[in-house]
Amino acid sequence: MSLLEVRGLKVHFPIKKGILLERTVGAVRAVDGVDLTVERGRTLGVVGESGCGKSTLGRAILQLEPITDGSVVFDGQDLAKLKPAAMRGVRRRMQMIFQDPLASLDPRQSVSSVLSEPLRTHGQKGPYGPRVRELLDLVGLPATAANRYPHEFSGGQRQRVGIARAIALNPELVIADEPVSALDVSIQAQVVNLLEELQERLGLTYVVIAHDLAVVRHISDDVAVMYLGTVVEVASSDDLYAGPLHPYTIALLSAIPIPDPEVEDRRERVLLRGDLPSAAEPPSGCRFHTRCPFRQPTRCHDEVPELRVLDAVPGHQVACHWAEQIAAGAVQPVSADVTATESTTSLDEAKATAADQSR
Amino acid sequence: MTEALVEAVPGQGLGAAPLLKIRDLTVTFASRGRRPVRAVDGVSLDVAAGSTVGIVGESGSGKSVTSLAALGLLGKRGVQVTGSVEFDGEDLLNMAEDELRAVRGREIAMIFQDPMSSLNPVLTVGRQITEILERHRGLRGAAARERAAELLASVGIGDSVRRLRSFPHQLSGGMRQRVMIAMALACEPRLLIADEPTTALDVTISAQILELLRLLVKDTQTALVLITHDLGVVAGLCDQVHVMYSGRIVESAPRRPLFAAPQHPYTTGLLASVPRLDQPRGLPLLPIPGSPSDTLPWTDGCAFAPRCTRQVPACLGGPPALIGAAHLVRCVNPVPTP
């Protein structure tokens, strides 16, 4: 049985208008129908740009956001149907690591207090000293760190404290929301390695939410790509990066700079036009069609693509009407979107357009 | 200063006369009752006209302070700036404030990481661009508005005439950064300094902005100094790369040799600690031990020595000099080149 199953999950935030008699005039569809499965002991990476709903998804799995529709099944139990007492028992088994340890740690709480709080909350009897020292040792901090306060640590060390807190109760599932993006480059690798080491030692299952595709690829067994509240592609990490099928994934991967001039100079970029549309009014049909370099007339605009498995690549799910044709090269990107965007007009052309507009 | 005599100058000799010439720039922040902090510690570098230069470093390496100090943007209180900064032969550090203001904006422009805090929230985008054109170019009324619309169009903002009436909060992050670039280019500056221009943006938007910068500097022959922590951004865009650590340049080379055969252990450490999309997935990450705060004062030896895997006793025997011909490195035990 899978440790975590997310079925048709929707989280909509109502948009209200009026002061006394609030009316709901619409909804921001932060997460809009997501299905995911995470097996025990594995790591699922969730990638996407800001506003795609990846953080909301993570919080909704932990029941930290009200769920509009769908269900989260943890170890066979539907979390929405649990009574509060039973839910407390389950909470112990799922924990979260946050992006910014300075914001998620109380500045007036010593590390030993931070780490013993979850133990106390979940009814374990003290003394907590030995467990605190054990936790510090697990995350590679000296025992003397126990009496210090968050501001006395560097960013990387603070994130280690955040990780120690998350594993204090021996959880099975850990959701890490951008665990390294606030850290300096030279420190990120330390924290990534620590997460991997802990997974091996403690048999943890991870959901790692991040925008850095290189880090996600490194740490994840499987990767889900999100766009505007929906999952557009799911595959094993190796398959996804070796042969992305969804146009959004293709563009996302081609946008990542690689620290090697030889590679950079030869690369062909698929650039996306424009910005992310509003999640309150997502585009019709395929949500990506407004920015898709491979879009085709009518169908992309009219019909919502289902997340489906292609016959040619088992285990690789994609939500695109034209995935086979794109993979086969039968559907080509609009040439203006490859390496050059609408932004590449020269100054002279721009003058002409501006003059036209002002007329 | 004997040390300055043996030191090589990064970027020197690449153009006929350098557009920007920084010599031995040192910036010290002092506040009452605290130990003074030396953020930039003797940086020298040349930027040739029309070239693109990358300055790479982590937070606290002094990469941003170098550019702010060079443009006189640090303020006066509690800041001590020594050394010299020449732009096209003119001394920027000792220039009168109103002269300096004329150079900034017209000759040198700067864009920052977070466009929302650099744009005025209560003025329309059009007003903010025409203000620059009025001040530095003497354009007025319809002429200024027309030029502003052209500028917006040139950075890829569609429907530019209508966009002039937008306020910053009505634009997305990528659009705001485009507006900042349009403002920076309003006076066709000869030098553009971009401090982490894409760090606050999503990857796909970041790729758009970098492509835009690449084309603009090529089209207009503007020199670009790109300050970033991301080696990947530099790899695709910059002719010359300077790597900074703890206030000093530790390695400097044209981008191809720098990435093909990095010599400073800090540079190799940075490259080995980031996962790469074009390499097999199973490779382990080799982090740099310690944190950027574990530094040694340069006067005692190499600041990176406490974190360095190639440390030898000579590392602690006084400050290492930046040496080499086209590929400069500040290290007594550099990584051997293959």
pTM as predicted: 0.86
**Inter-chain touch A258–B211, beta carbons under 8 Å:** no
Q: Are B104 and B111 in contact (CB under 8 A)?
A: no
Of A186, A213, A275, the CB nearest to B270: A186
Of A156, A190, A259, the CB nearest to B232: A259
The tens digit of pLDDT for each residue in A212-264 reads 889 999 999 999 999 999 999 999 999 999 999 999 999 999 988 899 998 88
Cβ count within 10 A of residue A349: 12
**Inter-chain touch A262–B174, beta carbons under 8 Å:** no
A186 and B CB contact within 8 Å: yes
Chain position carrying tokens 């129908």: A33
Look at strands A230-236 and A317-318 and give their pairing: antiparallel
CA torsion B252-B258-B263-B264 (nearest 10°) is: 50
- What residues of B are in contact with residue A50 (Cβ under 8 Å)? 202
Mind listing the pLDDT tens digit of every residue in chain B (338 residues)? 334 446 788 877 766 678 999 999 999 998 887 888 899 999 999 999 989 999 999 888 999 999 999 998 888 888 999 999 999 999 999 999 899 988 988 899 999 888 888 899 999 999 999 999 998 888 998 999 999 999 998 888 878 888 999 999 888 888 898 899 999 988 889 999 999 988 878 888 888 888 888 888 888 889 999 999 999 999 989 999 999 999 999 999 999 999 999 999 999 999 999 888 888 887 888 999 888 888 889 999 999 999 999 999 999 988 999 999 889 999 999 999 87
Of A155, A185, A193, the CB nearest to B270: A185
Q: What are A227's strand-pairing partners?
A: A230
Instruction: Provide the 8-state DSSP code for A81.
Output: G
Please report the residues numbered 224 through 263 in chain A whose beta carbons come closer than 8 angstroms to any beta carbon of chain B: 237-238, 241, 251-263
Chain B interface test: which of A258, A262, A266, A269 (most B C-beta within 10 Å):
A258
**CB-facing half-sphere around the CA of B226: CA atoms within 13 A:** 28
For residue A164, the distance in angstroms to the closest alpha carbon of chain B comes to 19
**Inter-chain touch A261–B255, beta carbons under 8 Å:** yes
Omega before A127 within 30 of 0, i.e. cis? yes
The residue ranges of DSSP E strands in chain B, in sequence order, are 20-29, 37-47, 52-56, 79-87, 90-91, 108-111, 191-195, 223-228, 240-245, 248-254, 328-329
